[in-house]
Chain A
């Protein structure tokens, strides 16, 4: 049984990856990074994270593709979309594809940490990967 919660941060902006890792590690999480959708899917398969912080606009495979891929799985991590796309249409589309939360950039990192904790504390999905 794992002691630490694993969070996968997916963003094509290196500075966002770096700062979020520092913050999440300071909060006691284990953070891993992916700069594109393809790497993200590979890491999800290899590392079974509890939470995925997912950017939408990325090279190679974008966040939408990752969401669609995860939505077909029975057991999947919590997904918090973190995007600069602020439109309601994007928000609704992400929800349709099974995103648990939608956070628009720029976000307050403290709020994001609190959101992750609330999500993990909720017992909506008993079975985790």
Chain B
């Protein structure tokens, strides 16, 4: 359509004038047809008239062969008149034909322009939606609605790439598919487009041929078109529009949908950035709140032993007897030890990120280590049960393991309830050590958060602590190449599990090559 003549209106006016259409308004195709009918009717009447005149003249002269008879001049004039009139009619017909072609072109041009205007308006609406709202759902819905109106589709959806394998439906119009439905990449129309990153037009022909026996996983194959959503070369998802049975999309529609894909992809990228920024700010605020809480916790934790120490010093200055004084000395030693432990904990938690003081991994007997920790804990008035094989080797740093166990056991007594049990279970390539209590357990939404630095489940509660213990545990476990998590213990309570490797990577490689 881009090659359509410029100044088509002038040409129409010119042809109309030549063809004898002298109406003031622009001629229509109907007017041209009427004119054509008139022209050929006149030609017919003239020809019939001439024929009748020739016959009557011939009969009047009384000869059978009137052409060679007396009035031959009359006959020749009639023939010349007929030929001249025919030439005139043919010339008019040529112009009328041109005119009707021009008028058809003009109609097509007008309808194309209307379509383009409609498309521009839809694209502009989509753009407006993109700029006015930052909520991704609203943006996608607005864009989808505009695309459906413009292309006359019955339903549509936007699917985003969830991971490398699946697309997830995030916006729908019509009832073709459920929101949050997952579509496998490579399967069905949307999945194929996500894989190939090429627009796809599904016509009845394609359904009957290529797609037969390749039924859409989520719905029966519909006549549809689907385009990839890409932003800066990265695939974000697909945009799919379907139509009803009596309709069919063409390649022009597919091009229009591809145009739509651009603002959709931009909206997704922009909203994604906005969401990420919002999450980042929330995280900063959260971390700031936790830091404030940490300072309060540390303040409280440090103040308590100092109160005891100052009390002990003040009391020992009085006349209390030698025995009591010795008791107070013990107290001062104990409380200053507590202060020292806290300071070390704070420093250790700061080191978790710096990766300083990397542990030395070697083979150790975890069972023996657990039994030793149980003994220490019992002496400190925190009894624990141990279920472990006679010996169980793991690759870890013994000092790190002692601290991990100590912290987890202390935690179980502080936040859980007795009996506290430590178990060691051996698998093929790993060993899982669990510290299980009979308390209330950890709520699912807190199971990751409790490992965050400064995070406390009872910020204003009466439980002492600085919110560092589990951060240190995770840091130490990871430095030993293991993982730590918490889950519900069978029968209630919390189960902190530490998975450790039995062999190093080198040892695993050696074992593999030996096989």
Contacts and interface: CB of A to CB of B under 8 A. Distances in A.
A105 B328 CA distance: 19
Interface stretch (A16-24, A39-47, A72-80): A16-24
A121 interface: no
Contact of B331 (A19, A105, A109): A19
B300 interface: yes
Indicate the size class of the contact surface on chain A.
Answer: 20 to 34
B320 A16 contact: no
A22 B303 contact: no
Interface string A1-38: 00000000000110110111011001000000000000
Contacts of A109: 310-311, 314-315
A58 B300 CA distance: 13
A20 B300 contact: no
B310 A107 contact: yes
A101 to B, nearest CB: 16
B315 A26 contact: yes
Interface in B298-343: 299-300, 303-312, 314-315, 318-320, 324, 327-328, 331, 334-335
Given A15-B308, A19-B328, A23-B318, A106 B334 contact: no
A16 B315 contact: no
B396 to A, nearest CB: 35
Contacts of A58: 462
Contacts of A16: 304, 307-308, 311
B308 A59 contact: no
Nearest to A85: B300
Given A23-B318, A26-B318, A105-B303, A15 B462 contact: no
Given A62-B462, A86-B299, A26 B320 contact: yes
B499 to A, nearest CB: 34
Contacts of A22: 315, 318, 320, 324, 328
A92 interface: no
A97 interface: no
A22 B462 CA distance: 26
A66 interface: no
A19 B300 CA distance: 19
Nearest to B460: A57
Contacts of A19: 308, 311-312, 314-315, 328, 331
Indicate the size class of the contact surface on chain B.
Answer: 20 to 34
A20 to B, nearest CB: 6
Contacts of A110: 314
A57 B462 CA distance: 5
A129 interface: no
B174 to A, nearest CB: 56
Interface in A102-119: 104-110
A22 B26 CA distance: 116
A16 B315 CA distance: 11
Nearest to B330: A15
Interface string A52-64: 0000011100100
A59 B315 contact: no
Interface in B168-203: none
A18 B330 CA distance: 12
Contacts of A13: 304, 307-308
A62 B461 CA distance: 10
A23 B310 CA distance: 11
Interface string B451-463: 0000000000110
A120 interface: no
A99 to B, nearest CB: 18
Contacts of B309: 106
Contacts of B312: 15, 19
Contact of A107 (B296, B307, B335): B307
Nearest to B461: A57
Most buried by A among B303, B305, B335: B303
A106 B462 contact: no
Contacts of B324: 22
Contacts of A108: 310, 314
A59 B462 contact: yes
Nearest to B320: A22
Contact of A57 (B299, B300, B314): B300
Given A19-B311, A20-B311, A110-B314, A105 B320 contact: no
A84 B319 CA distance: 28
Given A15-B311, A16-B311, A106 B306 contact: yes
Most buried by B among A19, A20, A105, A110: A19
Given A57-B462, A62-B462, A84-B304, A15 B315 contact: no
B334 A23 contact: no
A103 B334 CA distance: 24
Most buried by A among B305, B309, B310: B310
Nearest to B315: A22
Given A26-B319, A57-B461, A107-B310, 11 more contacts: A12-B462, A15-B305, A15-B312, A16-B307, A19-B312, A19-B331, A22-B315, A26-B318, A84-B304, A105-B306, A106-B307
26 contacts: A13-B307, A13-B308, A15-B331, A15-B335, A16-B304, A16-B308, A16-B311, A18-B327, A19-B308, A22-B318, A22-B324, A23-B311, A26-B315, A26-B318, A26-B319, A57-B462, A58-B462, A62-B462, A87-B296, A105-B303, A105-B306, A106-B303, A106-B310, A107-B310, A109-B310, A109-B311
3 smallest CB-CB distances across A and B, nearest first, come from A19-B311, A15-B308, A109-B314
Interface of B: 296, 299-300, 303-312, 314-315, 318-320, 324, 327-328, 331, 334-335, 461-462
